[in-house]
Chain A
Amino acid sequence: MKKRMILLTFPGILALLLFVVFPMVQIIIPTLSGQGSFGSLYLNFLKDTYNQRIILRTLWISLLTTIIVLIIGVPLSLWIARMHHRIKKILILVILFPMLTNQIVLNFAWIILLGKNGIINHVLLSIHLISRPLSLLYNNTSIVIGSVYLFIPIMVVSLLGSLSHLNIEVEEAATVLGAHPSTTFFKIILPQISTDILTGVIWVFSWTMTSYTTPQLLGGNDDLVMSTLIYQQAMTVQNWTLASVISIVLIIISVGCILIIRSLIKLLDRRVAHA
């Protein structure tokens, strides 16, 4: 029985080895030796202040995007979840619509909106709110705006399921016991969906960390993030080894951040439960 089970998993294991483990090993091996001692490529990359700034910028953009997506996404999901089911269907379709379109097209839409001669500056100028066009495009702000727009559907999708299944009587019980609606939201609703918030946060954070199209199209030439740096090293400078090094660093940082976020939420959960 057990033997047969192992045999049945064989195709899956083979696929994993072939398409995940093997390429990873291929990327890692050349980065370990390089010129000089073991791991010197990593140390040199991390020591460089220019690279450090890129890492920090990447982290900052991902963090900011995740927080904004949370702040917009959670109330939005709750609102949709509490709608009449017919309206709910339409709203879900509207929210998911961006996911049906190509990312490049979506980002070009932001270029049209945010540019010096874009619609937003045009409107602000014409109502005399500003005297000179704002530089909204090709900086960290535009990357964050573009990423938030891209990833809100992800957050909504990961929250909607559990929010729709919450027992409203639980919230009513809290209200009857004297909880203000805002207290009910933070102390009763949020803790019940903390696992799904965690899922959403991990999705959004890691996808922002690693996304390439948005920072490439909406980011400035001087404001590289790690993914655009990888592209530059690989395609422009043709330094594939360094590109690999950056990729590995990116993976390690992403996984590290996810672990930190996860244990933070777990800790919070436990404190709430026994408080």
Chain B
Amino acid sequence: MAEVTIKNLELSYDKKHDVLSDLSMKVKNGELVSILGPSGCGKTTTLRIIAGLLKPDHGNILVDNHDIGRTPVYKRDFGMVFQSYALFPHLTVFSNVAFGLKMRHLSRHEIQNKVKQVLEITNLTNLAKRFPSELSGGQQQRVSLARAIVVNPRVLLMDEPLSNLDAKLRVEMREDIRSIQQKLHITTIFVTHDQQECFAISDHVAVMNHGKFEQIGTPQDIYYHPQTLFVAHFVGYENFFKVEKQIENNEYQVNHQVIHTDFDHSYEPKYLTIRPNEIDLHQHKNNQMNEFNGKVVNFSFLGGSYRYMIQTDLGLLQVDQNDKDKFDVNDSVYVSLNSQLVIPLLK
């Protein structure tokens, strides 16, 4: 249980292209922080650097304000759950879990007790004598988690631990992980590419792209107040408007039209964005703010709602509308953008 700070981490494999650039983040005691990003963005690399399995070119990792850059992996006192689970194939479940305790030279008695306790928490008691090859994916995952937490690590690192499980099990396991993490109050860094998974269990989320943190905040922050084009895209914003100039305090010119936003912001936005389901679609002019005339280009059924492509003076808009008012191709419609939900993006 500890506080982790990473400061200005940098890494480049070939000295030309940065794999990671200027990563800084703080994980408070007992918090679960996710690193969220598409594959290849450098999130696993970041986790491996924190674990000590990779050396950064620059930057520091501090645990409780002590720089651990020179501490070898096996002395860091971390726990790690790997994407491949990485169980010891030649050891039983019990011995897998006991391994870390043996490395800490605990007495036989203590090892027995602690392993038993953790196997109970992770629901593995009756599998103790099995070998990893005799377990299902979900069970292997739990062994991997048990093995990491039994040593009471200062920091728990998880590298896409759920990505090899099927959808239903994934939801179940993430609840388990969250409740165990909170019960034991373990500082945890969790790497994932699954937005929903990460929002469901994290205290804070760091969205990563091309080796940089795009935005760090609570799941609600990230979801409702994305700051960059990438984050907005990642959390489901589909309509982006390039700001041509600021007209008034909260009014921006987009494609020779004016969009009004009531979203509180102090920066000069480069783009405005809104989710497809936050645009209202109607047949007649209502004379509202942010109302534009358009024409239905096509639509598709999404299950529960329709996605319309509407050609407007703002450009092509994607609008989700439930099926109470059905429109057809070439219908003339009006779209109105709720000014509270138009988000200005920094870049």
Contact = CB atoms under 8 A, between A and B. Distances in A.
Interface of A: 167, 169-170, 172-181, 183, 188, 191-192, 194, 269, 272-275
B99 A174 contact: yes
A11 B83 CA distance: 50
Nearest to B94: A274
B88 interface: yes
A269 B92 CA distance: 12
A175 B82 contact: no
B213 interface: no
Nearest to A272: B90
A29 to B, nearest CB: 46
A176 B88 contact: no
Given A173-B80, A173-B82, A274-B95, A179 B88 contact: no
Nearest to B144: A173
Contact of B91 (A175, A178, A180, A272): A272
Nearest to B79: A176
B77 interface: yes
Nearest to A172: B53
A176 B154 CA distance: 12
Nearest to A181: B74
Given A177-B147, A192-B89, A273 B95 contact: yes
B95 A170 contact: no
A172 B87 CA distance: 10
B81 to A, nearest CB: 9
Contact of B82 (A172, A183, A273): A172
A178 B86 contact: no
A269 B148 CA distance: 24
A179 B88 CA distance: 13
A176 B76 contact: yes
Interface in B93-112: 94-95, 99-100, 103-104
Interface string B46-61: 0000011100000000
B82 A169 contact: yes
Contacts of B86: 167, 169-170, 172-173
